[in-house]
């Protein structure tokens, strides 16, 4: 958790995304891989209380390494109820904003690449080599 | 007990008492097994591209034609494309890809197991054993070559219709870094 002063410094310097109440995160490991959630509270140095009422994530505790921070943030009081989280998320239309992020697009790309069959992988390889040769 | 049901031991003597077991005739159990061809995987349909996993043509991608009565799969390269002739292949040594080529049904009487069964070499007697076989028999019979041409005349145009499919069949399947067969979708 960063204080406002250090945040003002860091925002201009190194870190842009902070682990804070209201931060929208992308779950990359675990049961709810691929979904987004919002930080509702911090349990300890390594755990977050997280909720994703609009994305199908139940209120649960996640480890920091299971999660990837996004640029998106909503304004919610610490430990607030799911109802409040849901209303803020829909007000900011976080779902649509997340789909516009590069993280979401990359995840989509990974998914469609995995679905390529053997022929699809061959065609991809050939088109890549022809493109690189030019 | 099972013996009583299958009559493995047939007694020529009637009754239990005074019976001499050494006089009993032993017959083998009756075999009621019906031989059926191996069940064809649902992912394998006529025209499916298969990846051969074993044998001289391992790694090559071929077109599946039909399942023969023996259970083996009949495949063709086509020969002009990747050098795989009309060949029988076991289902277990094959990966079925999701690519299916539309080929018209090939109804050819000659496409049977008997056609592809290996001919037994004539056994040599003591005198002939040290005499070299001088007869020049071609390795592949003219009949086979004709059959190959006949089948491929149907398959090759269908393959050429699909973009990049001939070069795909010409290439071999390999695993690169980070690719694991159980995670790949074929």
User: Is B31 an interface residue toward A (CB < 8 Å)?
Assistant: no
CA B152/CA B146 separation, integer angstroms = 10
Both structure tokens of A9: 């410094």
Phi/psi for A84 (5° steps) reads -65, -40
In A, what residues contact B, Cβ < 8 A?
A: 114-119, 122-123, 126
Residue B12 pLDDT > 80 = no
Which of A89-103, B24-38, B42-56, B166-180 is least confident? B24-38
What percent of chain B has pLDDT above 90?
A: 55
Pairing between strand B48-52 and B25-26?
unpaired
Which of A114, A118, A126 lies at the smallest CB-CB distance from B99? A118
Smallest Cα distance from A112 to chain B, Å: 11
Which residues, other chains included, contact A34 with Cβ-Cβ below 8 Å and sequence gap of 6+?
A: A26, A27, A28, A107
Q: Is B48 exposed, middle or buried (0-12, 13-18, 19+ CB in 10 A)?
A: buried
CA B15/CA B113 separation, integer angstroms = 51
Q: Residue A114: its chain B contacts at CB < 8 A?
A: 185
- Best to test chain A binding among B51, B59, B170, B184 (most A CBs inside 10 Å): B184
Reported as half-sphere exposure (CB side, CA atoms, 13 A), residue A122 has a value of 19
User: Is B173 an interface residue toward A (CB < 8 Å)?
Assistant: yes
Q: Rg for chain B (alpha carbons), in Å? A: 25
**3-state class (DSSP) for residue B100:** strand
Q: Residue A118: its chain B contacts at CB < 8 A?
A: 49, 51, 61, 97-99, 173, 184, 186
Is the Cβ pair A117, B99 closer than 8 Å? yes
Predicted local distance difference test score (pLDDT) of residue B125: 72
Smallest Cα distance from A128 to chain B, Å: 14
B57 or B130, higher pLDDT? B57
B132 or B44, higher pLDDT? B44
Which residues, other chains included, contact B85 with Cβ-Cβ below 8 Å and sequence gap of 6+?
A: B76, B77, B79, B140, B144, B148
Cβ–Cβ contacts within 10 Å for residue B59, how many? 13
Residue A12's pLDDT band (boundaries 50, 70, 90)?
low
User: Is B168 an interface residue toward A (CB < 8 Å)?
Assistant: yes
Phi/psi for B80 (5° steps) reads -65, -25
Is the Cβ pair A122, B164 closer than 8 Å? yes
Residue B3's pLDDT band (boundaries 50, 70, 90)?
very low
Residue B10 pLDDT > 70 = no
What ipTM was assigned to the predicted interfaces of this complex? Answer: 0.76
Residue A129 pLDDT > 80 = yes
Q: Residue B99: its chain A contacts at CB < 8 A?
A: 117-119
Smallest Cα distance from B168 to chain A, Å: 7
3-state helix, strand, coil in chain B (%, to 5): 25, 15, 55
User: Is B11 an interface residue toward A (CB < 8 Å)?
Assistant: no
pTM value is 0.73
Is the Cβ pair B98, A118 closer than 8 Å? yes
A-chain residue closest to B183, CA distance: A114
Is the Cβ pair B185, A114 closer than 8 Å? yes
Predicted local distance difference test score (pLDDT) of residue B42: 94
Predicted local distance difference test score (pLDDT) of residue B2: 46
**Residue A79 backbone class (left: φ over 0; alpha: ψ -120 to 50; beta: rest):** left
Predicted local distance difference test score (pLDDT) of residue A124: 94
Is the Cβ pair A126, B173 closer than 8 Å? no
**3-state class (DSSP) for residue B136:** coil
Residue A40 pLDDT > 60 = yes
What 3 state SS string does B51-69 have?
Answer: EECCCCCCCEEEEEEEECC
* Helices and strands of chain A, counted as H and E runs: 5, 5
What average pLDDT is seen over chain B? 86
Q: What is the mean pLDDT of residues A38-60?
A: 96
Smallest Cα distance from B5 to chain A, Å: 53
A121 or A7, higher pLDDT? A121
**3-state class (DSSP) for residue A50:** strand
């Amino acid at each position: 958790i960063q204080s406002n002063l250090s945040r003002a410094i860091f925002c201009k310097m190194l870190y842009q995304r902070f682990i804070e109440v209201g931060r929208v995160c992308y779950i990359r490991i675990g049961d709810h891989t691929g979904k987004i959630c919002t930080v509702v509270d911090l349990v300890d140095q390594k755990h977050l209380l997280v909720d994703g009422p609009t994305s199908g994530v139940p209120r649960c505790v996640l480890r920091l390494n299971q999660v990837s921070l996004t640029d998106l943030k909503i304004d919610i009081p610490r430990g607030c109820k799911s109802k409040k989280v849901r209303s803020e998320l829909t007000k900011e239309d976080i779902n649509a904003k997340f789909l516009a992020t590069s993280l979401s697009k990359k995840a989509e790309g990974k998914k469609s690449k995995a679905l390529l069959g053997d022929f699809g992988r061959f065609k991809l390889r050939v088109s890549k080599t022809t493109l690189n040769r030019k | 007990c099972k013996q009583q049901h299958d009559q493995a031991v047939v007694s020529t003597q009637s009754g239990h008492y005074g019976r001499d077991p050494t006089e009993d005739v032993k017959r083998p159990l009756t075999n009621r097994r019906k031989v059926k061809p191996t069940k064809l995987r649902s992912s394998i349909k006529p025209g499916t591209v298969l990846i051969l996993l074993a044998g001289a043509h391992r790694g090559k991608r071929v077109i599946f034609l039909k399942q023969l009565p023996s259970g083996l799969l009949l495949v063709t390269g086509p020969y002009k494309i990747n050098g795989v002739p009309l060949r029988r292949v076991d289902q277990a040594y094959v990966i079925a890809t999701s690519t299916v080529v539309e080929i018209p049904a090939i109804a050819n009487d000659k496409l049977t197991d008997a056609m592809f069964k290996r001919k037994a070499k004539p056994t040599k007697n003591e005198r002939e054993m040290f005499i070299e076989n001088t007869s020049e028999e071609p390795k592949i019979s003219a009949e086979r070559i004709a059959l190959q041409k006949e089948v491929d005349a149907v398959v090759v145009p269908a393959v050429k219709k699909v973009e990049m499919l001939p070069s795909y069949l010409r290439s071999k399947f390999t695993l690169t870094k980070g690719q694991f067969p159980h995670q790949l979708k074929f």
